[in-house]
Amino acid sequence: MIRFHKEGYKIITITLIVSIVCVLLAEKLIDLFWLVKAIQLTIIGFLIIVLQFFRNPKRVVPLNDNVLVAPVDGKVVVIEEVEEPEYFKGKRLQVSIFMSPINVHVTRYAMSGEVKYSKYHPGKYLVAWHPKASTENERTTVVINNTSFGDILYRQIAGALAKRIVNYAKEGDSIVQGTDAGFIKFGSRVDLFLPLNTKLNVSLGDKVKGGVQVIAEK
């Protein structure tokens, strides 16, 4: 059975109602059979896109403090040593995962631990792969402390289509690896900032599965 994320309930309901009304109106108001069917198929196709975007598949999470799982579904587009200016103010290993509109957009906690920092930043809507997206786009920054890895920072970044980031992490929360950390509506990416000596299990271009695939280990 297909599950949908709670952040999509309102949009799915509105889209479903509007789709039904438009399908019926097309049948009633347009005489050309081929045009009616073309419009109806377009409406149904749009509805399917909305439904697949908000799907929330159940994942079996390998609870393990010595590994990090992918926080989202998508493609690894950045692996590099960078300066992280907001929280660490020092060098970290950045791993960025880009989500296309067809990916599952649930953000999951990469590890268990305690939320030490959580902050929302308004900003621009540059394309998610733009080099300045991590510091100039709408984004949230969350730091989790884990017994094995220490402090790990992840950043939800809105893209050109994304207009709303949902972040559930609150400072002081005790969180569990693989559970919902938030949602990014309509495309974007998530950046992870890890200790420089972190052993990665992914390479550039790899496609990862959120909540289950191990991307780094101690």
Segment 77-102, tens digit of pLDDT: 999 999 999 999 999 999 999 988 77
Taking CA atoms, 171 is separated from 28, 110, 114, in Å, by: 55, 16, 8
More confident residue, 24 or 185: 24
- Decide if pLDDT at 142 tops 80: yes
Sequence spans of domains, the chain: 6-53, 67-217
From the list 96, 112, 134, 188, the catalytic residue is 188
Please count the other Cβ atoms lying within 10 Å of the Cβ belonging to residue 196. Answer: 9
Whether 100 is a known active-site residue: answer: no
φ, ψ (nearest 5 deg) of residue 191 = -105, 135
Give the lowest-confidence range in 66-70, 99-103, 119-123. Answer: 99-103
What pTM did the predictor assign?
0.81
Q: How confident is the model at residue 23, as a pLDDT?
A: 92
What average pLDDT does this structure show over 1-13?
A: 84
| Residue 213 neighbours by CB under 8 Å, 6+ apart | 69, 70
CATH architecture of the domain covering 67-217: Distorted Sandwich (2.70)
Residues 6+ apart with CB under 8 A from 199: 216, 217, 218
